[in-house]
Chain A
Amino acid sequence: MDAHNKNDQTEDGRQPGAPLLEARGLTKAFPGVIANDTVSFIIRPGEVHALLGENGAGKSTLVKMMYGLLRPDEGELFWQGRPVRMDKPSTARNLGIGMVFQHLSLFEPLSVLENVALAVPGKWNPKALRKRIIDVSTAYGLPLEPERIVQSMSVGERQRIEVVRCLLQDPQLLILDEPTSVLTPQEADQLFTTLDKLSAEGRSILYISHKLHEVRRLCSGATVLREGRVVAHCDPRDETPGSLAELMLGTRIAPPSRATAERTTPRLRVFNVSATSTRAFGFDLKDISFTLHGGEIMGIAGIAGNGQNELMKVLTGETKLDHEADAIRVDGAPVAHFGPIHRRLCGMAFVPEERNDHAAALNLALTDNTFLTGFSKLRLTRGGMIRSRRTLDHTKKVVDTYGVRAAGPNADAGSLSGGNLQKFVVGREILQAPEVLIVAQPTWGVDAGAALAIRQALIDLAATGSAVLIISQDLDEIFAICDRIAVMSEGRLSPPVPVSEATTEEIGLLMGGVHETLSEHREAAT
């Protein structure tokens, strides 16, 4: 099956020379889903090539096959014109392929030096390796200290280890899987500078992303995947974000519809909340204060690991506060002394960041998962016994209202795809008609269709007068649906400002730890 050649250009000597890596007809299927269906593409030497597609399009599977982590059911790979069998990562590495994973494969209790040593073959020579790490990391603008323990490093710093790890092996092809999802805008710019340098040295880069502006900034070639198939080869610089989005999603996606928000009474008031983190290198919360109004959606931006988990646990009641009870008020009622069950009875609802075995129990049925957060408010027990009929009805309602694709209301939560499970988990809370809904990473790892449905559901909930708080790493998402934005950094929360008044650059600075308020920052700049 030939790929559709948009603009009719890829095959005609734009970049002369044999392809560095060629994939022909790669196919991989898992029980119930075909992840990649006869995928073919070419990467040339010195090219920065994008692999575009929404979550669930098959990018990760494809890349794992290129790196030897998965074996294709059909199809072939060619390296510098010769066929190769990528049966394990070391084969790929020996050929000159380096990979920076999206979910970093680092070892937290070990040092930078040890982490690099594990990825680099050869005799165990700590002294020489230490010097090489310092040299290479500084040369490419990603400085590292070899003796630091990974657990103490931020996500952006950790990613540098992965990149330097690859660079030490002199790769011809560097694969980066969604690298900027964990970076501040400024850190992302630094990464792009590094990538430009690598490309100038004649190395190829395969850049996997769904962020169109980055792809247009960096890449001269792109392969677009949709639902496992290649739908286009093109040059992103010749496309508009709109046309690329249409290729990725297949239809013209309208952004979620939002009337200007009618802010009503304050519904959630958090005042001077502090809490110590229970994790070894987590950030303590310091004097968190904000007010959430009915009808509005507020977004808290920030890179993961800056206290968002701690904040969520304080808001749900999983972390006990030793404050006065009115440090947190819902519709005027003090709730800080309550645990999650009572807070839900007061009208709060929550969707934590991790849907696997936190928001939902994967080994339990959807009905059990409905019961999990709804049993008190929806009155799903009588005299200590579970009311199965009522629970089942509620579950069906969630599944039908939000289009959750599952084998049935009794299917295990673990059998659902990420997008469907997220729809279930968000829908379950919204159908309890909460006064205040707090959602962390609402569309993380979720396909475009589900992401749209979830965002629309949140907007609709706010329109009924409820207050919605979103904690998200995705700035685009916050700017798309939120009315106000605040930034979480190192356990502190910046004062919220209207989204219309904030710029990406300012938010990026705040995410990076600049603690002035936006107005102070603007004053200083003028």
Chain B
Amino acid sequence: MIRLVPRRQRSRAMVWGAPLLAVALTLITGGLTFAIMGKPMGVALFTFFVQPLTSVYGISELIVKASPLVLIGIGLSLGFRANVWNIGAEGQYTFGAILGGGIAIFFHDSTSPFLLPAMLIAGVVGGMAWAAIPALLRTRFNANEILVSLMLTYVAILLLSYLVHGPWRDPDGYNFPESRLFPEVGTMPVLIEGTRVHLGVFFALIAVAVALVLGKGLTGFKLKLVGLAPEAARFAGFSETGVIWFALLAGGGLAGLAGVIEVAGPIGQLIPTISPGYGFTAIIVAFLGRLHPVGVLLAGLVMALTYLGGETAQIEIGVPAAVTGLFQGFLLFYLLACDVLIRYRIHILIGKAA
């Protein structure tokens, strides 16, 4: 019989041990999954988890895929700490891409160096605006932000679909549902020759740094307190409303930034599908990273690897790319299960239960 015995204090070791344990368990389960699918376990695991890292191009792709995850993950981690559950990051990402991309399309003949900054700002504003809706509805009407932000995700994706099928469709594009290609000045400059690594990486790193600083200050304290003990936060004089707005706007702004960066960078235009589910994967990134900025950075790289691994495995050993989603799900489950070890010790009692 297994019993959970509460620890007197949270185990600091397990705070970082749990994610590692979860990753290990995911690897094992992944291997078993491959075996069930009839693929040789060792080769499959290697192809999925190691091969993408063996070339410079592979590592550059890792960084490219990790940047939006880290950006969104940082924003979400701030919110989750305060018990503000922004599940609609995918929608905020999309709307940021719409606003930012819209500017590129509107000024498609421009050669001004101000175009890209304007697009980026528009992206942030768009994401914030999309997140402001659940913020307003939660603070004014007590509506659950999980459901509101999620519903808005569907709305944003439908909006994008309408735009690229309709008014924003490329007139020279042979009726494909895609927008014009963004002008040269409206694309993210590539930093390293021969790769797709672009300026977005810097934004991700800046976000990590800013979050680190915020975490050590009054803002971080407020977020922590509202999340752990909202009555105590009110007693301290902190405005729960203010914290909710901050959490959602920060998450939305960063997601919107990630969105406009993706469409101005690797994608280069607006198309119906601009995200392989970054907004949802970023939730896992935030948890895996223990809501800590550096952790989120590392977790972003790990999750980016699962995307690359899926693509590589599809090409090399014929495993459907959907296996990525499965592994991500496993990882989150294992992480939640291993988290129990932070607060509890496991006692295995053999024989008659006490």
Contacts and interface: CB of A to CB of B under 8 A. Distances in A.
A227 interface: no
A196 B263 CA distance: 82
Contacts of B348: none
Nearest to A358: B231
A412 B237 CA distance: 21
Nearest to A32: B8
A361 B229 contact: yes
A352 B8 contact: no
Interface in A269-325: 316-318
Given A340-B236, A341-B237, A368 B221 contact: yes
A352 B235 contact: yes
Contacts of A373: 235-236
Interface string A372-384: 1101100001001
A385 B219 CA distance: 9
Interface string B113-135: 00000000000000000000000
B225 interface: yes
Contact of A381 (B218, B225, B231): B218
Contacts of A412: 9-10
**Residue from B224, B231, B354 with most neighbouring chain A CB atoms (10 Å):** B231
Contacts of B224: 364, 368
Assign chain A's interface to a size class.
35 or more
B231 A386 contact: no
Given A361-B229, A364-B225, A412-B9, A375 B218 contact: yes
Contacts, number: 73
Contacts of A357: 228-229, 231-232
A422 B224 CA distance: 22
A66 to B, nearest CB: 19
B216 interface: yes
Contacts of A352: 235
A488 interface: no
Contacts of A339: 237, 239
Contacts of B216: 385-386
A371 B229 contact: no
B217 interface: yes
Contacts of A361: 225, 228-229, 232
Contacts of B237: 317, 339-342, 344, 376
A438 interface: no
B234 interface: yes
B229 A415 contact: no
A359 B228 contact: no
A415 B235 contact: no
B217 A372 contact: no
Contacts of A32: 8
Given A358-B231, A364-B225, A384 B8 contact: no
Nearest to B10: A412
A400 to B, nearest CB: 22
Judged by DSSP, the binding face of A is loop
Contact of B228 (A71, A318, A363): A363
A354 B219 CA distance: 25
Contact of B218 (A340, A364, A386): A386
Contacts of B9: 407, 411-412, 415
A362 interface: yes
Interface in B197-233: 213, 216-219, 221, 224-225, 228-229, 231-232
Contacts of A354: 231
Contact of B225 (A31, A317, A372, A384): A372
B221 A371 contact: yes
B221 A359 contact: no
Contacts of B231: 354, 357-358
A376 B237 CA distance: 10
Nearest to B354: A71
Nearest to A372: B236
A507 to B, nearest CB: 29
Nearest to A412: B9
Given A368-B221, A386-B218, A359 B235 contact: yes
Contacts of B236: 340-341, 372-373
A390 to B, nearest CB: 14
Contacts of B234: 318, 340
Interface string A344-371: 1000001010100111111110001001
A386 B222 CA distance: 12
Contacts of A411: 9
B235 A340 contact: yes
A386 B8 contact: no
A136 B106 CA distance: 81
A375 B236 CA distance: 9
Contacts of A364: 224-225, 228-229
Contacts of A31: 8
Nearest to B239: A339
A384 B217 contact: yes
Contacts of A342: 237
B101 to A, nearest CB: 35
Interface in B311-352: none
Given A362-B229, A364-B228, A385 B217 contact: yes
Which 3 A-B residue pairings sit nearest by Cβ, starting from the closest?
A340-B237, A341-B237, A361-B229
18 contacts: A317-B237, A340-B234, A341-B237, A344-B237, A350-B235, A357-B229, A364-B229, A371-B221, A372-B232, A372-B236, A375-B218, A376-B237, A385-B213, A386-B216, A407-B9, A411-B9, A412-B10, A415-B9
Interface of B: 8-10, 213, 216-219, 221, 224-225, 228-229, 231-232, 234-237, 239, 354
